[in-house]
Amino acid sequence: MELLISIVKIVVVMGVMLGIVAYIVLLERRLSAAIQNRIGPNRVGWQGLLQPIADVIKLVFKEDIVPYKANRFIHDLAPIISLAVALTTFAVVPFGDKINLFGYDIKLQIADVNVGILYILALTSLGVYGLTLSGWSSNSKYALLGGVRSSAQMISYELSMGLAVLGVVMIAGSLKLDAIVEAQAGWKWNIFLQPIGFITFVTTAFAETNRLPFDLPEAEPELVAGYHTEYSGLKFGAYYLSEYANMFVSSAIITTLYLGGWQMPFVHSFGFSDFWISIIQVLGFLAKVIIIVSFFIIIRWTIPRFRYDQLMNLGWKFMLPISILNLLLTGAAVLWGIL
Amino acid sequence: MKQKPIVHRKDLHWWEQFYIPQIINGMRITLSQVFRPKFTRQYPEEKWNPPSSFRGRPVLVEQNGVERCVACGLCSRVCPALAIDVQASETELLKERYPVRFEINMLRCIFCGFCEEVCPEEAIVMSKEFELVFRHQEDAIFGKEKLLLPADKLKDRLEFLRKNR
Ligand code: SF4
Ligand code: SF4
């Protein structure tokens, strides 16, 4: 029975997540358009609501071109790594409390790993392989430059990311994401307790997901399309999807670590039944995630792209000291019992 | 508009060097754009009416039921894209000559307007039509029946030409 519940959970979460990611693409396109005083895709379906489906159909029917002298096997493998990493990271993110369905208490989290945060950090580091290998196997200088940049960028920012997360871990006293969410009950959200950590984490999350202002691996003006220059058709689709899946997952992680996860203050004071409270919590979690995603999109049209040396300077000379400082401050606060 | 003074990095307050207030301010500006009116024209439903200076496809001016053209062949001669083909013949009318065949290959035309400029009779002018779609290459060769347009439909352009002569 446990196994069956797990499988059902995986299927449902995967389906819902892919749907949400597809619509994040639409959200990005419409919001970007609105920011640029355009309308955006609004032809397929009502207000363009079927646009993601049309996009997917288009990508499926496109020709798959592998460049001359490219390493065919790695060229095929790289997008799969990217997509797999982006989708599996969500497995440890709790998106709700327990829910009671048909007499079973179902935990709204696919895998309750007791080192959840380490799992996330490990998998996001694996994501580099997808980008670097794609650049390396494409036999194209632009792709190679993009891949090399992505590896350097991710390694530099992973460090500050880990240190920023440590502050949260210290407060919660556990690596379990569940426990971290539990610790933020009420208004004790980590964004208020850890403002510096929040800022560093969000910045590094931008760098990890290759979003502007840190999208150096695919900097269009210099590198055509960066690491996925030589990809077309379904494989390009996989990269496209994994980029947005990454964005969704990092928003989910930001929500979990800093915005109280599925915790909705005062939700118990309205007197709903337990079932509806669970539903509201899941929806609240999704709402927070969507807000962070919109934040990602707005930042994209606000801050111009960093130069490569600026990116490295920011990472090593600014983000790293600040996250260490944050760590020390949190340590002191925990030691003297302030937090 | 008065130019704002240039701010160097060393002039910034330490608080400004964090850039966070600036970023938030920038986001405010970005977000405020969302509520501004949109520039997009919903094209097939909302057609654009070009100004009279617009150079759409070249057409032959029709006056009193016949074309003004006297088949002098100047337009055909000046056309840089070699798009125009004129064949002259005689007529009983006052103008004595008329084109039996007048063809413009719309796949060759580059809408430069030279034909209009060179025509001594103001017989060929650029219209406002810009929607040119063909299913076959043969369809792109416009004969007289497609090129002739009554003069009162081209009033805008004719007036514009006279004003700018
Ligand atoms: S220049 Fe004018 S009159 Fe001469 S052939 Fe061309 S359209 Fe006719
Ligand atoms: S507009 Fe230019 S290219 Fe077109 S027919 Fe006239 S002279 Fe030729």
Polymer length of chain B: 165
Q: Tell me if chain B has a CB within 8 Å of the CB of A273.
A: no
Q: Nearest-CA residue of chain A relative to B37?
A: A37
**pLDDT per residue as tens digits for the range B74-124:** 999 999 999 999 998 888 888 888 888 899 999 999 999 899 889 888 889
Say how many Å lie between the CA of residue B105 and the centre of ligand 2: 9
Q: Nearest-CA residue of chain B relative to A199?
A: B20
Q: Choose one of B62, B70, B118 to mutate for the ligand 1 pocket test, by most ligand atoms within 8 angstroms of C-beta.
A: B70
Q: Nearest-CA residue of chain A relative to B33?
A: A35
Please report the residues numbered 197 through 236 in chain A whose beta carbons come closer than 8 angstroms to any beta carbon of chain B. 199
Q: Kindly report the nearest CA distance between residue A43 and chain B, in angstroms.
A: 10
Tokens describing residue A172 = 């919660």
Count of CB pairs separated by less than 8 Å, A with B: 35
Helix, strand, coil tally for chain B in percent (to 5): 30, 20, 50
ipTM for the predicted complex comes to 0.70
Distance CA A293, CA A139 (A): 34
- Looking at residue A139, what is its pLDDT? 83
Cα-to-chain-centroid distance, residue B114 = 13
Question: Distance of CA A6 to CAs A110, A111, A112, A158, A230, Å?
Answer: 7, 8, 11, 31, 38
Whether B21 has a pLDDT exceeding 90, the answer reads no
- Looking at residue B78, what is its pLDDT? 92
Cβ–Cβ below 8 Å for B30 and A31? no
Cβ–Cβ below 8 Å for A302 and B27? yes
Closest C-alpha residue for ligand 2 atom 6: B115
Please report the residues numbered 28 through 47 in chain B whose beta carbons come closer than 8 angstroms to any beta carbon of chain A. 29-31, 33-34, 36-40, 42
Cβ–Cβ below 8 Å for A303 and B37? no
Closest-approaching ligand to the CA atom of B73: 1
Backbone φ, ψ for residue B162 (5° rounding): -65, -40
Distance CA B157, CA B50 (A): 11
**pLDDT per residue as tens digits for the range B122-154:** 889 998 888 888 898 888 888 888 888 888 888
Q: Of ligand 2's atoms, which has the minimum distance to the CA of residue B124?
A: 6
Cβ–Cβ below 8 Å for A37 and B33? yes
Q: Nearest-CA residue of chain B relative to A37?
A: B38
Contacts of B134 (CB under 8 A, 6+ apart): B106, B107, B140
Would the CB of B123 count as within 6 Å of ligand 1? yes
Say how many Å lie between the CA of residue A329 and the centre of ligand 1: 86
Selected residue of A28, A199, A297, A298 to mutate for chain B interface (largest B Cβ count, 10 A): A298
The model's confidence at residue B26, banded by pLDDT at 50, 70 and 90, is confident
One-character DSSP codes across A157-214: HHHHHHHHHHHHHHHHT-S-HHHHHHHT-TT--HHHH-HHHHHHHHHHHHHHTT-TTS
CB A22 within 8 A of CB A16: no
In the DSSP assignment, the letter for residue B7 is: P
Cβ–Cβ below 8 Å for A35 and B39? no
Closest-approaching ligand to the CA atom of B74: 1
Sort out which chain B residues have CB atoms less than 8 A from A31's CB and list them.
34
Would the CB of B61 count as within 6 Å of ligand 1? no
Sort out which chain A residues have CB atoms less than 8 A from B31's CB and list them.
35, 298
CB A130 within 8 A of CB A85: yes
Say how many Å lie between the CA of residue B96 and the centre of ligand 2: 25
Distance CA B18, CA B25 (A): 13
The ranges of chain A with pLDDT < 70 are: 103, 339
Which residue among B23, B34, B42 places its CB closest to the CB of A34?
B34
Distance CA B65, CA B93 (A): 12
Cβ–Cβ below 8 Å for B31 and A298? yes
- Looking at residue B9, what is its pLDDT? 67
For CA atoms A202, A205, A211, A216, the dihedral sign is positive
Polymer length of chain A: 339
Would the CB of B110 count as within 6 Å of ligand 2? yes
Which residue intervals of chain A are DSSP H helices?
2-35, 51-61, 72-88, 116-137, 141-172, 177-183, 190-193, 195-208, 220-223, 233-258, 274-300, 308-313, 320-335
